[in-house]
Amino acid sequence: MFPRSVRLLACAYVFLAFSAAHAPAGAASPDQITDEKVHARVAALLKQMTLEEKIGQLSQQFVFGKPDEVEDAVAKGQLGSLLFVTDPAVINQLQHVAVEKTRLHIPLIFGYDVIHGFRTIFPVPIGMAASWDPSVEEKGQTIAAQEASSVGINWAFAPMLDIARDPRWGRMVEGAGEDPYLGSAMAAAQVRGFQGPYIGSPEHILACMKHFAGYGAAEGGRDYDASYIPEDQMWNVYLQPFHAAVKAGVGSAMSAYMDLNDVPATGNRWLLEDVLRKDWGFNGFVVSDADAVKNLKTHGFAKDLSDAAVRGLNAGVDMEMSLGPGAYRQTLAAAVTGGKVTVAQIDEAAGRVLAAKIRLGLFEHPYVDEARSKQILAMPEHRTAERLAAERTAVLLRNEGHLLPLKPGANHSIAVIGPTADSQLDTLGSWAFQQDLNETVTLLTGIRSKAGAGTEVSYTSGVQIKRKFPSFFDQIFHVPPSPEWSPEQAAQEIQKAVDLARNSDVTILVLGEAQNMSGEAASRESLDLPGKEQQLLEAVAATGKPIVLVLMNGRPLDIRWASTHVPAILEAWYPGTQGGNAVADLLFGDAVPGGKLSFAWPRDAGQIPINYAHNTTFQPENQARRYWDEESTPLYPFGYGLSYSTFSFSNVKVSQPSVRVGQSLDVTADVENTGDTTADEVAQLYIHQQYGSTSRPVRVLKGFTRVTIPAHQKTTVRFPLTPEDLRYWSTATRDWVQDPSDFDVWVGGDSTADLHASFAVTP
C-alpha cells in the first residue's frame, strides 16, 4: 500500500492528465464556435425547415424498449432528442437514421440521467457536497462526462440544484443540502465538470440544471407535491444555486414538476422568462421534466392536452420530455394554425435547441467510436479517483475513546453486520444505472481486504430492509423484490448477529437505507432506522463489545440512541464503485475523515425544518427549548464533522472596521492542527446582519475552504466579503439591497463557531 500522500499526488495527476492522454485518436480539439457563427447557422437552418420539422426539434422521447419503435418518428423528423439509450451501437443506429434519412440531416441529441457517475459511480450528490471541496465535484463530473460521451451521450440531466430543508423528501440525496452558498459552489463546480471550459469541449457534455425551481420545498416532504415559498426565501435561498449555474455557463435547464405558489413550474412564465432569461441572461434551452407539460392538465392549470402545450411553450419550455408522443408533437401545429402560438415562438424555441447541437459539434461529429468507448469505461484511474472522492465525503459523527481508527493487528476477529454491508447495489445508491456491479467493492469486501490475513472477518446481515412500494426505476430495470423473512427467521438472524458480535473483538455495524429508499418517489414519513435496524443496533450494543456504526443513507436518520450508546459513528452515504475500499481506508486510518454535514441533522422528524439559518424571534434565550418534549437544537449542526486530529481557531481579523456600501473587505483567521495526525479541516465563515430593512438570519455561510494541515502546524485562511455577499432580497423593497448595518462574523469548524469579530457597513 502506497502512503496516502503518494496516493493523493497520483490522483491529482490523474485528474489533470486523463483528458489529454485519452483524447480521441486523430481528433483535433475544436476551437469554441463563436456566437455569431452559431446564430448564422441556426438562422439558415430555420429558413429551410417546415413547421413540423421545427416542432420535431422541440420533442424528446424515452426509449425503454426496442429502438426500432422510434425509428420511424426519427426518420420523419418528429423527434429531436432521445433519452435512456446508452448502447453506443444503438445510439449510432438511431443517429444514422436522423442524419441520413431526414431531409436536413439534423442530428439527435441523446440525454441521460448522469447524476453521480456513468460507469464509475461516485458518492451520491449529498455525499459529494459533504466534501466541502468543489474540486471533488468538478473532477467527478469530468470523469462522468468522459465516460458518458464515450458511448454517445451528449447531455446529462444534472446537476440537481434543489435546496432541501425537509429530509423526508427522497430527492434530498441528489442535491447539496440546505444551504444556498454551499449549494452554489457545488452547482458551479458540476457545470464546469460536465461542460469543460465551454460547451462543445472535447469529451464533455451539456449540463442541465434542475429542477427549476422550488421542488425541494414540496409540502410535507412528499415528492411531487406543491411548494409554497415566500418571495424572500425564493430569491435568497432556492434560486441561488441556479443563478450560480447560469453564471457558470450551464447550457440547459429543466422545469420542475410541482406547483409553485399555485402556478406549475412548467407553465410558470415568471420563472422561465422573467427570472431565467430576462433577469439572469440565460441563453440555453429549457426542457420539461418527464411528461410535465402533459401534467399541466393534471394540475388543473390547462384545459386539455392542446392547452397544456400552448401554456408550456408560452411559459418558456423549449423542449418537451415525454414518455411517449408528447403534447408538443401532437398539438402544436394546430395551435399555430389556430393562432394560439406563433411561428416566431416555434422558431425561437427550435433555434435554442439547434444552437446547442451546433455548439456540441453534433453536425460535424454525430457518431461515436464504439471500440474506444470500451477503453474509456475500463480506465482504472477513474476508479482510483472515485475512491479518493469517497474518502473525502465521509463524515465522522462520533469517536468516543478514539475507537477509530482501528489499529492494524490489534483485533484478531472483526464482525461485520448489517443488511447493506455486502450489497453492491446499495453501495452505489440511487440514480446509478450503467454501473458494473461485478467491480463494485462492498464494505465487507473492503474491510476484509484491509484487515489482512491475520484477522478473521465474519459477516451476517442481522436484519433485512423491505420496502413496500417499488420505485419507478425498479420497475423499468426489473429489480426483483427481496423475499420477506418470517418473524421466526427475523428473530433468529438478530440472535445470530448478537452471537457473532459477542465472539468478536470489534463489530462494524452497517445500517441505513436500501438504495431505493432515497431518490425520486422515495419520500419517507419517518426518519427512523428502517425495519428492525434499531432493534439490531440495541441488541448488538448490549454485548458490551466495541462497536463502530457505519451509515449508508441519503438523508439524516434518527440516531439519537446511537449518538449516546455507540462510541464511533461514520457517515459514509452511498459511497460508490470503490466505496468499500474507501470506507476501509477510513476505518483503519489510511485516510482521515474530513467531510462535513451539508445540513443540520435533526433529532427526529418532528423538528423539521431545523435549518441553521433561521431568524431570531421572541424570547431568543429560550431558542433551544421550543418544545416540551425535545430540544430545539439539531443532533449535529450544519457544517459538523470530526477528524482523527483536532483543530483550534484563533486570531480572527477583519481587514477594516467599517466599509461603505459597495465596498469589499477581508476576514482572516488562524487554524492550527493541535493533534498528532496530518488532517483536513473545513474553515467556515458565517456572518449576521444585526438590523436592516427586514429581519436577517442568526447567521449565514459566506465562505469556506478545506485545508490540509500537518500535525502541530498552523495556517492562515482568508475569506473575501464582497458587496454581493452582504446584499439580500428584501420583501420591504421588492429588490436587492445592501443595508448600512453592524455585522457579526464567526469563523470555525461548523455553524456553531464562536470565534467572533465584527465590522460595520456605512452609507
Q: Dump pLDDT digits (tens) for 456-489.
A: 999 999 999 876 556 666 666 566 667 789 999 9
Q: Is 160 helix (H, G, I), strand (E, B) or coil?
A: strand
> Do 677 and 595 share a structural domain?
no
- The Cα 211–Cα 317 span in angstroms is 13
Q: 343 exposed, middle or buried (CB, 10 Å; 0-12, 13-18, 19+)?
A: exposed
Instruction: State the first-to-last Cα distance of the chain, in angstroms, to the nearest integer.
Output: 60
> Do 555 and 500 share a structural domain?
yes
Which residue in 85, 115, 87 sits closest to 430, CA to CA?
A: 115
Using the 3D structure, point to which of 603, 629, 658 is the last residue of a domain: 603
Check whether 555 has a pLDDT greater than 50: yes
In the chain, the amino acid numbered 668 is T
Q: For the residues 734-745, what does the mean pLDDT come to? A: 97
Domain extent for 497: 384-603
- The Cα 108–Cα 192 span in angstroms is 23
Q: How far is CA 324 from CA 64, 69, 211, 651, 721, in A?
A: 10, 11, 21, 62, 50
Amino acid 628: pLDDT? 85
> Do 563 and 664 share a structural domain?
no
Residue 413: count of CB within 10 angstroms of its CB: 15
Q: Dump pLDDT digits (tens) for 207-262.
A: 999 999 999 999 999 999 999 999 999 999 999 999 999 999 999 999 999 999 99
Residue 758's Cα: distance from chain center in Å? Answer: 34
Amino acid 361: pLDDT? 97
Q: For the residues 371-390, what does the mean pLDDT come to? A: 97
Residue with cell 465522522: 396
Q: Dump pLDDT digits (tens) for 170-183.
A: 999 999 999 999 99
Q: Dump pLDDT digits (tens) for 603-621.
A: 999 999 999 999 988 887 7
Using the 3D structure, point to which of 550, 579, 603 is the last residue of a domain: 603
In percent, how much of the chain has pLDDT > 70? Answer: 94
**Beta carbons of 279 and 234 less than 8 angstroms apart:** no
Annotate 320-340 with b (16+ C-beta within 10 A) or e (fewer).
bbbeeebbbbbbbbebbeeeb
User: Is 472 within the bounds of a domain?
Assistant: yes
> Do 698 and 598 share a structural domain?
no
User: Is 693 within the bounds of a domain?
Assistant: yes
User: Is 390 within the bounds of a domain?
Assistant: yes
**Beta carbons of 550 and 583 less than 8 angstroms apart:** yes
Residue with cell 402544436: 332
> Do 742 and 675 share a structural domain?
yes
- The Cα 117–Cα 122 span in angstroms is 6
User: Is 403 within the bounds of a domain?
Assistant: yes
Give me the number of domains the chain comprises. Answer: 2
| Residue positions annotated with a catalytic role | 289
In percent, how much of the chain has pLDDT > 90? Answer: 89
Using the 3D structure, point to which of 539, 573, 603 is the last residue of a domain: 603
CATH of the domain at 758: 2.60.40.10
Task: Tell me the Ramachandran region of residue 145: left when phi exceeds 0, alpha when psi lies from -120 to 50, beta otherwise.
Answer: alpha
Q: Dump pLDDT digits (tens) for 665-706.
A: 999 999 999 999 999 999 999 999 999 999 999 999 999 999
User: Is 705 within the bounds of a domain?
Assistant: yes
User: Is 124 within the bounds of a domain?
Assistant: no
Amino acid 64: pLDDT? 87
> Do 570 and 507 share a structural domain?
yes
> Do 656 and 526 share a structural domain?
no
In the chain, the amino acid numbered 367 is Y
> Do 388 and 466 share a structural domain?
yes
Main-chain phi, psi angles of 44, to 5 degrees: -65, -40
CA atoms 676, 682, 685, 686: torsion sign = negative
Mean pLDDT taken over the chain: 94
Alpha-helix runs per DSSP H in 545-629:
560-565, 579-587
> Do 493 and 408 share a structural domain?
yes
> Do 658 and 514 share a structural domain?
no
DSSP state, residue 535 = H
> Do 565 and 457 share a structural domain?
yes
Q: Binning pLDDT at 50, 70 and 90, where does residue 454 land?
A: confident
Helix (H) and strand (E) counts in the chain: 25, 26
Q: For the residues 91-115, what does the mean pLDDT come to? A: 97
Check whether 2 has a pLDDT greater than 60: no
User: Is 214 within the bounds of a domain?
Assistant: no
CATH of the domain at 453: 3.40.50.1700
- The Cα 333–Cα 711 span in angstroms is 69
> Do 433 and 555 share a structural domain?
yes
Main-chain phi, psi angles of 294, to 5 degrees: -55, -35
Q: Which residue has the higher pLDDT, 334 or 20?
A: 334
Check whether 624 has a pLDDT greater than 80: no
User: Is 355 within the bounds of a domain?
Assistant: no
Q: In what order do the strands lie in the sheet with 568-571?
A: 395-399, 568-571, 547-552, 506-512, 413-417, 456-460
